[in-house]
Every structure is written in C-alpha cells, then in structure tokens.
Structure 1
C-alpha cells in the first residue's frame, strides 16, 4: 500500500469516526458536512475528495461493518451450533461473531440506535438470514413452505439481533462473548423447538 493509499484510508477512517461522534451528539438527520469536517480535523474540500455527502459516509461505514460481519456469520453451521449447546460446549464460530461485534460495539450501538439508521437492523438481519436460514431450511419439511419460511426468518433473525441489541444497549462489560453466546442459544432452545432441528 502506497503512502497515498494509506493517507486516503486514514482520512476516510477519520470521517467515518467523525460521523459516529456527530450521530451520537446530534442524530444523523442533523449531521452536516461542515461538522463532519471539523470533527475529522480536515477541510470541506478534503471531505469532498472522498465522499459526496453524509449519506455516502453512512453507506460506506455500514457496508464495511456488514461485509466483515458476513465473513464471520458464514462460518456458522446451525446444526453444529445446536449440538454444541446440547452437550454444554461453546460454539466457536458464533463466539467469533460476538467478538467482532464487541470490538466494534460503539459503531453498532450508534448505528442501531434511535439516532442512527433504521435500515441497518434490516441489513444485519439479511446477513444472518442469508447464511443461517438457508442452512436450516433444508433440514425440515416446513422449511420448504414459503409462508413458514417467511415467519421463521423473521423470528430467527429478530431473536439473534434482539440479543445483540440488548447486549449493546446495556453496555454490560461483565458479560463476555462466551457467556453471551451461551445465553443466546439457551434462549433459542427455551423459546421453541429449534433444538429439534437436529437429527
């Protein structure tokens, strides 16, 4: 990576961090390019070399988080996960997902919050749906029923995201990712028949 590339990367990172600061301070609707530039310690001309407006910054930040999240979620194998919980073992791929979210907790908390982007939660659910639901739907006959699949997707992705949002909202630093992963699957087992997806 050249010096120019490094400088561009650092500037864009500063702008994305500035966006988080401004959302937390005034809410996304009231964020301005002027305040983003001031917060990032750059001039407006420099801002426009990298982004056309605050919406493009938000899209870049969300896509960066979603791409990395997807790289971890795609390693989750639901049947292996449920089997691990049944025998009392932690499931490492899901722990890795939670670890990534914990490392970027501030960004996830702000964007998922009331002052952030309503669309982000839907996009996160889609990541979970694309890589987890597809692996479950072929296991049971109900998974072939479009109506069942629609509601099962809503249930499963909302359950996953709901636990993550509660964790982020509570700011519970005493709850580590391993404990959170165990709570997550205990909840899923308790709520319904997801454990019966195993053969």
Structure 2
C-alpha cells in the first residue's frame, strides 16, 4: 500500500470522499499510537476528526472492518511489490561462481525495505505494541515466501540447514524493519545499510550450504 494513494477508492467516488476516507484512516493510525486498536471506539475517532458517526459508517461498518481494510491493503501491496515480479528473482548463476561467492546483493534483497519505506507510518503503527498480532503472523508468512524465493534464486539446497537459515532470515527481516521504522535519530541506518547487513548473512548462509557445516567445523 503506497501511502501516496488512498485506500480502496473506486473511480466513481469524489475527491472529497477520498480525502474523508484518508482522514479517517490517518486519524485511526494516530490513535493506535496512543492505545491498542481494540480499545479505540468510533465515537472518539469521529470526534477527533470532526465528522459524524454517519459519515464514518459510509466507509466502514465498525473499527474492526477499518483495521481489516488497512491490513488487507498492506498485505496485498506486499504481494504485488515483493512477490509478483518474477524477473526480480531471476538469478541463473546463483550466488556462487567459479571464482567464489559474489558479494553483490541481488535487487530482490532490498525490496522488503523499499516496501517498508513506502508504508512507513502504517507499518510503524501496525508492527508496534498496539497493533494486531494476527497481522504480524500473516506478514511473516508472506516474508517466508519472499525469503524462500530469494534462496531459490541463490540455488540454495532444500535441506534441513536451509530451514534454519530461512527461519532466522525471516525474523531478521522483521527485527531490522521494526528497529528502522522506530528509529528517530537522523544518524539511523539507511536502507542500503540494512541491505548490507542482510546480504552479509545471505552470503554466509550460502557459503555454509556450499561447503557443508561439518566441513567448516573441521576447518576451525
């Protein structure tokens, strides 16, 4: 969900209608920074943006539908932005070549952080303490598919070792994103910095997969 567009608006709706729905969603996200989404009421939301309850119900049946609307749009946006481009994961040579391991990060590796940047305010709230834990579960499943695609493009073997790398990599993506989204310092890491961190692990994981963990242990 690109925050530069409005959620779920059809062509037949007016610009005023689009602005109203955007205000409802924006104010709701502001409230979620103050309290858990289950404790937010329609009454306090409409008072906050000075609209009637009737106006709210033109767009959503209740708070839960509003929450679901935001989450669904984010998840569908992830699917479109991070998973639908087959060429993004096209890597015939994989990570290993005759001269060794390529240290260059593939374009697909940074796509997750680009997605987070496009949806920064919304993800900052939904991944925060007042968000819906079930949304995080759904997002984690999509990240699982995303990381799997990355590993397939690197031609990593489908073995037990890969499962451990996959689990670790998914959690690291979430951890780095949460830290970056909540970082308020001007000296915070850039998306490029975060991609380098992930790529370091990616190259290391592929190195272990290529040489076998036991071989590495014996060389230590």
**TM-score scaled by structure 2?**
0.71
Asked if 1:129 is matched to 2:144, the reply is yes
2:159 aligned residue = 142
Q: List structure 1 runs of 4+ shifted beyond 4 angstroms.
A: 195-199
Q: Which residue is equivalent to 2:177?
A: 164
Q: Does 1:87 pair with 2:102?
A: yes
Task: Tell me how many residue pairs correspond in the alignment.
Answer: 192
Structure with the greater alpha carbon radius of gyration? 2
Q: CA deviation at 1:51?
A: 0.6
| Residues 82 and 146, structure 2, Cα contact 8 Å, conserved in 1 | yes
Partner of 2:201: 187
Deviation at 1:170, TM superposition (A): 2.8
2:60 is aligned with 1:51: yes
Inter-partner Cα distance in structure 2 for 1:123 and 1:72? 16
Cα displacement (A) at 1:106: 1.9
User: Which residue of the other structure, out of 63, 66, 72, is the alignment partner of 2:72?
Assistant: 63
Contact 2:157 2:209 in 1 (8 A): yes
**Could you tell which deviates more after superposition, 124-133 or 165-174?**
165-174
Unaligned runs of 5+ in 1: none
TM-score under structure 1 normalisation?
Answer: 0.78
Unaligned runs of 5+ in 2: 1-9, 212-220
Cα 1:170–1:127, aligned 2, differ >3 Å: closer, same or farther?
same
- 1:164-196 Cα offsets, whole Å, 9 max, x none, are 112223335432211111112223445xx3445
Distance 1:171 1:152 in 2: 30
Matches of 2:166 and 2:14, distance apart in 1: 41
